[in-house]
Structures are given as C-alpha cells and as structure tokens.
Homo-oligomer: A and B are copies of this chain.
Amino acid sequence: MKHTYSIGIDIGGTNTDMGLVRDDGTIIARSNIPTNAYTVFEPYIHDIMEHISTMMKNNDVQQLEGIGIGAPNGNFYTGCVDNAPNLTIKGVLDFGKEIHKYMDTTVVLSNDANAAAFGEMVYGGAKGMKHFIMFTLGTGVGSGIVVDGKLVHGSTGAAGELGHNILFPEGRMCSCGRKGCLEAYTSARGIVQTFCELRKENGPRECKQGWIPDNVPDSDVSSKMIGDAANAGDPIAIATYEKTGYWLGLAIANSVTFSAPEAIFLMGGPTKVGEPLLKPLRESFEKHLLNIFQGSCSIRMSELKANEVAILGAAALIKMKE
C-alpha cells in the first residue's frame, strides 16, 4: 500500500519543530529552527521551507497531502497568527500566503491546543469519538473542543479558551490581565504560586529526603519539582496538588455542561505527576458533575507521546474536512 505524507509544524516562542508524518501517524523525520532567532517573517518561512524540502528529499517523498501548523494565537479561518505575544516576529503572519510562494499544497493552521485535540482524534485515544475536550496544561492552560467530530472554532476562529474561564470571580491575577481564570490556578505557574502560598502559611519546617527545602526561593520552584516532591511525600507539595486537582476537576465538570463530551483528555507537564493530581481531580469531578451527566464522561490521559503530540496534532489538522 502506498503511503501519503504530511508536514506538522509546531510553533513555539523558542523553537519551531517540524516533522514529516506518514499517514499511519509515524513521524519519519524531524527538524527544528529557533523561532526567537527571527524578527522578520519572510526569512523565517524561507528557512522552514528549506528544512521541509530537505526532510522530503532525504526520505524520497515527492508530494505532500498538506502542511498543518499549530501556533499560539493561530486563527483557523484566516490561516494567520495574529499578534502572538510570545513570538519575536510581530504582527499578523499569513502562513498560507507565504508558504504558497514555495509550494502548492494545502496549509491548515489552528492554535496549539486545538491541534493537540485534533491529533488525539486522528492518531490517539480519541479515535472515533464525536464529542470530547482536551485540556493542555503547561505555561498556560489551553483547550481544544470537538463537537460532532469537528473542532469548535466559533465565529472568530478563536473558540476553545477554557483556560480563561473564570473559576473564582475576582480571584488570582491571570496572565491575560483579568482575575480568577482557570489558568491562574492550574498552569505550571499557578501550581508554583499555590505551593509558595501554602508553604508561607505553613511556616518553617524540617524537610525529609525529596521534599522541597525551605531555602529554595519561590523564584526557583518549578511545577516539576513540586510533582517530584509530592511523589516523595512532601505534605505541602501534596496539598498543592490536592488544591490543583480540586480546581481542575471543578472546571472540567463545568465544561461538561456545555457539550456533554464522552471523554476529557489531559496532557502537558503538570499532568505527569500522576495520582497526587489525578485522585483529587477525579473526586472533585465526581462531586461537581451535574447528576444527568454522571457516568457519561471519563477523564483520560492523552495517548500520544509528549514529544510527538505537537507535530502529530499539527499534521492532523489537514485531515479536517470543512
């Protein structure tokens, strides 16, 4: 059987990762360039296209099904990245137009969390599902929502921003400038803030092996350290994830009232801690789920590998028939 191929591009503030993806979901070649080395769009695209061309030649691929791009502030309808605050290349970036100067192929762009959700549907644990939601936890909290087998892009192309659902009115300051967003509580940064607040409340303590010592300043604490400490029995770290799980479980239960998904998928660094997060999360989810949805929705981890999901998700976007 003859295979088809596509390109997935994951645009981050630091790196731009590219992969040549076979239709069975195997990444047969990878490459990357430093996004933050560019301030002008044209040379950035030029270099991306050179890397794509090299990957295709090296693997004897003559034709692509298309190029899928996952990007912060990526707008599905326009194919543009609109003024992404974390990119060194400023303005409205029309990827489709610029790429077509080099290659005549389908270009589909969406935001990174949407791409992750679509990747889960095409290549991961959401195969065959018509209704699910993906929450991506990292520096921020993103989401991708699938209704009737299609990504919800909404009237503007920017739907699916559940990280900015306000969980606590007038609550914690969020990076978006408003207060009380889910992201302010359950992103990596939010988790660190919770830990630092809790250990301040708790006062000085004697730390066992694997706990986070008092002399590590707040600015050096990471969510990864808190996760490791929680699994080593650090009670402040455990309490941090108990709160985080409670908040995230509540937010997930709220999201179910919208689209009644059959599953919620989780991915991203902070979810890797495992049971210290997942146990309170499941309890909170059950407690806060409206009775008519009891038993209809499961919470699952992404089945895609952490280092592949962004590229597979981006590549999957071109499978979107709309």
Q: Identify which of B145, B160, B291, B296 contacts A177 (C-beta below 8 A).
A: B291
For the complex formed, measure the closest distance between the CB of A174 and the CB atoms of chain B, giving whole angstroms: 10
Q: Identify which of B148, B155, B161, B254 contacts A292 (C-beta below 8 A).
A: B161
Most buried by B among A130, A148, A257, A262: A257
A residues lining the B interface (CB < 8 Å): 73, 130-131, 145, 147-148, 150, 152-162, 164-169, 176-178, 250, 253-255, 257-262, 288, 290-293, 296-297
Known: A161-B290, A166-B253, A255-B258. 7 other contacts (CB 8 A): A131-B154, A148-B152, A153-B260, A159-B259, A166-B254, A168-B169, A169-B250
Q: Are B157 and A152 in contact (CB under 8 A)?
A: no
Q: In whole angstroms, how far apart are the Cα atoms of A295 and B92 in the complex?
A: 18
- Would you mind naming 21 contact pairs between A and B with Cβ atoms under 8 Å apart? A131-B154, A145-B259, A148-B148, A148-B152, A153-B260, A154-B260, A155-B262, A156-B260, A156-B296, A159-B257, A160-B257, A161-B290, A161-B292, A162-B258, A164-B257, A166-B253, A169-B250, A177-B291, A178-B288, A178-B290, A258-B259
Q: Are A258 and B159 in contact (CB under 8 A)?
A: yes
For the complex formed, measure the closest distance between the CB of A303 and the CB atoms of chain B, giving whole angstroms: 19
For the complex formed, measure the closest distance between the CB of A285 and the CB atoms of chain B, giving whole angstroms: 12
Query: Which applies to chain A's interface (DSSP): helix, strand, loop or mixed?
Result: loop
Chain B residue nearest to A289 (CB atoms) is B178
What are the 3 closest A-B residue pairs judged by CB atoms, nearest first? A154-B260, A159-B260, A155-B262
Q: Are A158 and B292 in contact (CB under 8 A)?
A: yes
Q: Identify which of B159, B168, B293 contacts A158 (C-beta below 8 A).
A: B293
A260-B157, A291-B177 are contacts. A152–B162 as well, Cβ < 8 Å?
Answer: no
A161: chain B residues within 8 A (beta carbon): 257, 290, 292
A254: chain B residues within 8 A (beta carbon): 165-166
For the complex formed, measure the closest distance between the CB of A55 and the CB atoms of chain B, giving whole angstroms: 33
A255: chain B residues within 8 A (beta carbon): 258
Q: Are B158 and A131 in contact (CB under 8 A)?
A: no
A152: chain B residues within 8 A (beta carbon): 147-148, 258-260
Q: In whole angstroms, how far apart are the Cα atoms of A292 and B147 in the complex?
A: 22
Q: Are A258 and B160 in contact (CB under 8 A)?
A: yes
Q: In whole angstroms, how far apart are the Cα atoms of A228 and B162 in the complex?
A: 37
